[in-house]
Amino acid sequence: MASDNYEVTPMIERLNEAMESGAFAQVRRMINRGLPAQDVAHLLESSPPKERDLLWSMIEAEFRGDVLQYLTDDIQAIYLNRMNPEEFLAATEGLDTDDIADLLQQLPDTIIKEVLVSMDTQDRHRVEAVLSYPEDTAGGLMNTDTITIRPDITLDVVIRYLRRHQSIPDSTDSLIVVSRKDHFIGMLPLTRLLVSDPNITVREVMNTDAIVISADMPDSEVANLFEKYDLISAPVIDENGALLGRVTIDDVVDVIREDAEHSLMSMAGLDEDEDTFSPVLLTAKRRAVWLGINLLTALLASAVIGIFDATIEKVVALAVLMPIVASMGGIAGSQTLTVVIRGMALGHINSGNTGWLINREFIVGLINGAIWAAVVAGVAMFWFDDMMLGFIIGTAIIINLIVAVVAGASLPLFLKWMKIDPALAGGVLLTTVTDVIGFMAFLGLATVFYL
Amino acid sequence: MASDNYEVTPMIERLNEAMESGAFAQVRRMINRGLPAQDVAHLLESSPPKERDLLWSMIEAEFRGDVLQYLTDDIQAIYLNRMNPEEFLAATEGLDTDDIADLLQQLPDTIIKEVLVSMDTQDRHRVEAVLSYPEDTAGGLMNTDTITIRPDITLDVVIRYLRRHQSIPDSTDSLIVVSRKDHFIGMLPLTRLLVSDPNITVREVMNTDAIVISADMPDSEVANLFEKYDLISAPVIDENGALLGRVTIDDVVDVIREDAEHSLMSMAGLDEDEDTFSPVLLTAKRRAVWLGINLLTALLASAVIGIFDATIEKVVALAVLMPIVASMGGIAGSQTLTVVIRGMALGHINSGNTGWLINREFIVGLINGAIWAAVVAGVAMFWFDDMMLGFIIGTAIIINLIVAVVAGASLPLFLKWMKIDPALAGGVLLTTVTDVIGFMAFLGLATVFYL
């Protein structure tokens, strides 16, 4: 847990200065003695590749696991793949089970086996329990460092039992009450333990309606539960009700951050684990794919324009104005898309209210379409001194804005139903729709009225 | 804290069914007896306006405050503004100080004064303490329900003192150790209290290097500290070191979620407090502004195209292909923009590494520009059987992609320096750049080579 004091930024600044002036002995001392692991991880994440490798080489072997657990997946993978099993074991000694399992999952299967074989039996069983669940479930997120008690003892006995511990695991706000067969019965919050009469039994004060999480619950649902009910820790059980471990708020906070970032990054075709300072070739490769996908959209739009080349040749003002129609549709649609994707992530949207939502978007599209169609029509009329042109672009804008907002509202729902990530595919598909409809409506109407 | 059990979704479904079948007596009973306040809030957030008003009218007066605190700002404002001071006081009785202050801040100043006057002295002082700090600082986020102890008593005395309490406030993981003058000295984690010898003094076991937060620290910095150091609560002090209250993880989780959503929503010109089901007119009004701003960008692009109308009249293929150049630039730029805005939010980007970042983007732009320029040039040559056209569009794409990624990396830094929100203004400015440069490069080159 915590460390030092909260004035870490100046410390990082001092470290940056030391790096720049080449005072490596000083840097090494600061990293390994001065800074908490979280700050060393943040420093690595804020460094370009070469500087990052230099810093990593200065971190002492037994401190590397502490630092690794705070790094983003992209960067973890880089350094984990440079370690052999012995180095991995040395680095991860003393980490929480869930953190070791997280790191292990980044390694090839053969290495995972080698590492597991070298662990002591208790640790191996614990890590294997976590590894047996997918990383993005409660089971993959859980920790096995639970303190369990039995319901029929008195609080005084509980307090004496706790005093035999050197320490209690981080983020322990409750003790877990289990049956003889290790089945979950209830929770005893430490605060209740402290205010209650020591002579009564656990059963009398325990909380039996606590939130319990099954091991296969998706981590985003776990996060929603923690957020909604202000939880600090929650027990994880298997399908038979046997206690497996607990999920703690510190791991859930990471899930919340990643889930929220997922939409932002996906809409630009990026991964939420993306390293800000990933090297040139990796960056270029990842982005090239997204550019290629979007090129198909652009080519389709060009093909639509191509249909009307005779019209454009006759009225060149159409070429001048046509990007406005496509762009207004794109903006209006992406606003709706963003609202709906966020609403879906928050669990606001269900079969009972989608009808209302699409209907509202239709009316909003009509209102804003009418307002801006009038403005653009006026601009076009004055600019090119052509009433007809104003009428055509105005009508095209109204059509495209309505299509855009209805598509923005329905595309993510359709994609979710198709089990495609709406944040990733929604924007590209929407642009395709607004470009094609925009150019088609504008140039099509022009063809009807001018040719 | 928590309540009921974790099977809330089926309950909400049953409630929806009851709503649809008009079994309002049943709905009223479920809302006021069955569901926890968080779920009632979620239900309101997931309902269109009319249904929402109906549900709200069924919530009992004394339960409304509980529900209000979990609602998003937009919806809070609607129902708060329908309450008079007496109703507000009845609804918020028993809420945490920080939650009451949050709700109060949504009301007009005259009502705030009326409410404060009607509160009992202790509550008023507490709420006023929180209200005296901006909502987005540690002071505005803090709670005043701290349990404080003195350093020179024994742990046994602490335990006996706690037993005199009926309960301990939610999210209490530590007691705060203060001097006679109420100055912060250290923290005593409950877990340490429980494992230590009861005969030693608080001073001997307290944590003196705990993270301490000053009341004027921005809430996003508070969130970063909690996230980095896995905190559950942290003391808040004034400039003289006097203890004011504490910040707890449940409030910080909301800040983390809102901060992460801020970028996503701002990039579409939306507010992170936006209600998914806001009514038609409000929605239309808010979105109209953003469409208007983006129309200026589109008009500027049209003006650029207008300069080259003679060229387009001669070679109509230019009108067909020109959206490709602008679109590729827009996509490449927005990827960089998203990475940099996220990196800035995570605190990865500083004066020491921006040079490297812009340089990397330049090279990535060059590589991807070259790759896709070749592809598009090939397509253009075959499509229009014109070598020159291929060469022109290829060159324009390389130019626009490089400008786009360098602008995507430097615009947010420039905007931050200008104290303008990069997530809000970055996208519009970037599109302006990529449209103007894209059309200018493509049509300009064409004018040079064709006319």
In a domain, residue B2? The reply is no
Selected for mutation to probe chain A from B7, B72, B249 (highest A CB count within 10 Å) is: B249
Q: Which residues of A touch B227 (CB under 8 A)?
A: 253-254, 257
Selected for mutation to probe chain A from B170, B225, B232 (highest A CB count within 10 Å) is: B232
Residue A5 has pLDDT above 50, yes or no: no
Q: Are residues A103 and A224 in the same domain?
A: no
Weakest mean pLDDT among A99-103, A233-237, A293-297: A99-103
Q: Which residues of B touch A173 (CB under 8 A)?
A: 173, 232
Residue A1 has pLDDT above 80, yes or no: no
Selected for mutation to probe chain A from B195, B278, B405, B406 (highest A CB count within 10 Å) is: B195
- Residue A153 gets which letter from DSSP? S
For range B375-399, the mean pLDDT = 96
Tell me which of A141, A166, A195 is where a domain ends: A141
Cβ atoms of B366 and B402 within 8 Å: the answer is yes
Q: Are residues A168 and A304 in the same domain?
A: no
Residues above pLDDT 70, as percent of chain B? 97
Of A51, A83, A42, A47, nearest to A65 (Cα)?
A83
Q: Are residues A300 and A434 in the same domain?
A: yes
DSSP state letters, A195-214: HS-TTSBHHHH-BTT---EE
Residue A450 has pLDDT above 90, yes or no: no
Residue B371 has pLDDT above 90, yes or no: yes
Residue B203: pLDDT band (50, 70, 90) is very high
In a domain, residue A1? The reply is no
Residue B9: pLDDT band (50, 70, 90) is low
The residue in chain A having the minimum alpha-carbon distance to the alpha carbon of residue B322 is A302
Residue A74: pLDDT band (50, 70, 90) is confident
Q: Are residues B152 and B137 in the same domain?
A: no
Residue B160: pLDDT band (50, 70, 90) is very high
User: What's the CA gap between B170 and A191, in Å, rounded?
Assistant: 9
Contact A328 B295 (CB under 8 A): yes
Weakest mean pLDDT among A34-48, A149-163, A281-295, A306-320: A34-48
- Residue B47 gets which letter from DSSP? S
Cβ atoms of A350 and B48 within 8 Å: the answer is no
In a domain, residue A45? The reply is yes
Q: Which residues of A touch B353 (CB under 8 A)?
A: 46-48, 277
Contact B280 A379 (CB under 8 A): no
B26's CB contacts (< 8 A; 6+ apart) are B18
Of B197, B84, B212, B208, nearest to B146 (Cα)?
B212
Residue B36: pLDDT band (50, 70, 90) is confident
Tell me which of B141, B166, B201 is where a domain ends: B141
Residue with tokens 């294997």: A128
Residue A231 has pLDDT above 50, yes or no: yes
Among A1, A193, A376, select the one facing B230 at the smallest CB separation. A1
State which amino acid sits at residue A275.
D
Among A46, A172, A291, select the one facing B368 at the smallest CB separation. A291
Question: Over the stretch A90-146, which tens digit does the pLDDT of each residue have?
Answer: 888 878 877 888 888 888 888 888 888 888 887 888 888 888 898 889 998 998 888
CA atoms within 13 A on the CB side of B38: 19
Domain enclosing residue A233, as ranges: 148-267
Residue A243 host element (H or E): strand A243-248
In a domain, residue B273? The reply is no
In a domain, residue B366? The reply is yes
Q: Which residues of B touch A373 (CB under 8 A)?
A: none
- Measure Cα distances from A428 to A433, B163, B179, B372 in Å: 9, 61, 60, 18
Res B7: pLDDT: 45
Count the helix, strand and coil residues of chain A and give each as a percent rounded to the nearest 5: 65, 10, 25
Q: Which residues of B touch A359 (CB under 8 A)?
A: none
Selected for mutation to probe chain B from A51, A190, A379 (highest B CB count within 10 Å) is: A190
Q: Which residues of A touch B323 (CB under 8 A)?
A: 298, 301-302, 305, 323, 326, 435
Residue A272: pLDDT band (50, 70, 90) is confident
Residue A6 has pLDDT above 70, yes or no: no
Residue A445 has pLDDT above 80, yes or no: yes
Res A11: pLDDT: 64
- Measure Cα distances from B178 to B19, B154, B171, B237, B269 in Å: 53, 14, 19, 11, 46
Higher-pLDDT residue of A89, A162: A162
Contact A264 B267 (CB under 8 A): yes
User: What's the CA gap between B245 and B98, in Å, rounded?
Assistant: 10
For range B12-25, the mean pLDDT = 76
Q: Are residues B95 and B35 in the same domain?
A: yes
Residue B40 host element (H or E): helix B37-45
Selected for mutation to probe chain A from B253, B256, B308, B325 (highest A CB count within 10 Å) is: B253
State which amino acid sits at residue B450.
Y
Of A308, A431, A299, nearest to B393 (Cα)?
A299
The residue in chain A having the minimum alpha-carbon distance to the alpha carbon of residue B331 is A291
Residue A448: pLDDT band (50, 70, 90) is very high
Tell me which of B240, B267, B294 is where a domain ends: B267
For range B320-330, the mean pLDDT = 96
Q: A114 CA to chain B: closest CA distance, Å?
A: 31
Res B31: pLDDT: 84
Contact A372 B230 (CB under 8 A): no
Residue A307: pLDDT band (50, 70, 90) is very high
Q: Which residues of A touch B250 (CB under 8 A)?
A: 230
The residue in chain B having the minimum alpha-carbon distance to the alpha carbon of residue A360 is B280
Among B227, B229, B350, select the one facing A257 at the smallest CB separation. B227
Q: Are residues A443 and A306 in the same domain?
A: yes
Q: Are residues A126 and A258 in the same domain?
A: no
Q: Are residues A137 and A152 in the same domain?
A: no
Of B67, B17, B448, nearest to A228 (Cα)?
B67
User: What's the CA gap between A272 and A74, in Å, rounded?
Assistant: 10
Residue B81 has pLDDT above 90, yes or no: no
For range A332-346, the mean pLDDT = 92
B394's CB contacts (< 8 A; 6+ apart) are B373, B374, B376, B377
Query: Which CATH number goes with the domain that contains B379?
Result: 1.10.357.20
- Measure Cα distances from B323 to A316, B4, B318, B329 in Å: 15, 56, 9, 10
Among B45, B309, B431, select the one facing A320 at the smallest CB separation. B309
Residue A171 has pLDDT above 90, yes or no: no
Residue A411 has pLDDT above 80, yes or no: yes
In a 3-state reduction of DSSP, which class is residue B205? helix
Looking at the structure of chain B, the number of domains it has is 3
Residue A315 has pLDDT above 60, yes or no: yes
Res B10: pLDDT: 62
Query: Which CATH number goes with the domain that contains B213?
Result: 3.10.580.10
In a domain, residue B184? The reply is yes
Per DSSP (E only), the strands in B290-363 are none
Q: What is the dihedral of CA B50, B54, B60, B63, to 10 degrees?
A: -30
Residue B409 has pLDDT above 70, yes or no: yes
Residue B196 has pLDDT above 60, yes or no: yes
Q: Which residues of B touch A298 (CB under 8 A)?
A: 323-324, 327-328
Q: Are residues B441 and B295 in the same domain?
A: yes
The residue in chain B having the minimum alpha-carbon distance to the alpha carbon of residue A252 is B253
Res B154: pLDDT: 96
Res A4: pLDDT: 37
Contact B316 A317 (CB under 8 A): no
User: What's the CA gap between B85 and B91, in Å, rounded?
Assistant: 10
In a domain, residue B384? The reply is yes
Q: What does the block give as tokens for B10?
A: 């089926």
Residues above pLDDT 90, as percent of chain B? 58
Q: Which residues of B touch A170 (CB under 8 A)?
A: 230
Cβ atoms of B429 and B410 within 8 Å: the answer is no
Q: B71 CA to chain A: closest CA distance, Å?
A: 11
Query: Which CATH number goes with the domain that contains B96?
Result: 1.25.60.10
Cβ atoms of B380 and B323 within 8 Å: the answer is no
User: What's the CA gap between A268 and A34, in Å, rounded?
Assistant: 38
Res B4: pLDDT: 36
Contact B335 A301 (CB under 8 A): no
What rounded mean pLDDT belongs to chain B?
Answer: 89
For range B24-30, the mean pLDDT = 84
In a domain, residue A2? The reply is no
The residue in chain A having the minimum alpha-carbon distance to the alpha carbon of residue B305 is A320
What rounded mean pLDDT belongs to chain A?
Answer: 89
CA atoms within 13 A on the CB side of A145: 19
Q: Are residues A163 and A134 in the same domain?
A: no
Cβ atoms of A341 and A422 within 8 Å: the answer is yes
Residue A73 has pLDDT above 50, yes or no: yes
Q: Are residues A159 and A78 in the same domain?
A: no
Contact B295 A376 (CB under 8 A): yes
Cβ atoms of A168 and A250 within 8 Å: the answer is no
Residue A211: pLDDT band (50, 70, 90) is very high
Residue with tokens 């923690």: A226
**How many Cβ contacts (< 8 angstroms) between chains A and B?**
379
Res A9: pLDDT: 58
CA atoms within 13 A on the CB side of B233: 28
Q: A117 CA to chain B: closest CA distance, Å?
A: 31
Q: Are residues A130 and A155 in the same domain?
A: no
For range B407-427, the mean pLDDT = 93
Contact A368 B284 (CB under 8 A): yes
For range B208-236, the mean pLDDT = 92
Res A12: pLDDT: 66
